[in-house]
Amino acid sequence: MLAGFGVLGFLMRRFDFPIAPVVVGLILGPIAESQLRRALAISLGDPMTLLQSPISATLLAIALVALLAPFVLKGLGRFRANED
């Protein structure tokens, strides 16, 4: 596993990917997963519970926009480049 992470780190540096988000994800991922399991257990498996609160729905919407924005902006850049 150590060799695998070493190769992954080398490739990320080689292709200029930031390493800090991966480290944060490795630390916070298991915590977030356990809290999601806990929330779904409390709600008896109903995922709509995560959207019923306006705060959680807003945060999920912001996260969705943050995930999709780079792809949309890249597509718009290609579209504008094709027009010229």
Taking only the tens place, the pLDDT of each residue in 41-70 is: 998 988 888 888 899 899 999 999 999 998
More confident residue, 53 or 3: 3
Nearest to 9 by CA among 28, 33, 67, 1: 1
Which range of residues forms the domain containing residue 82? 53-84
Chain-centre distance of CA 27, in angstroms?
Answer: 14
Say yes or no: 29 and 67 in one domain: no
Say yes or no: 58 and 78 in one domain: yes
Say yes or no: 30 and 7 in one domain: yes
Q: What is the pLDDT of residues 5-34, one digit of tens each?
A: 889 889 988 988 888 888 888 899 999 999
pTM assigned to the model = 0.58
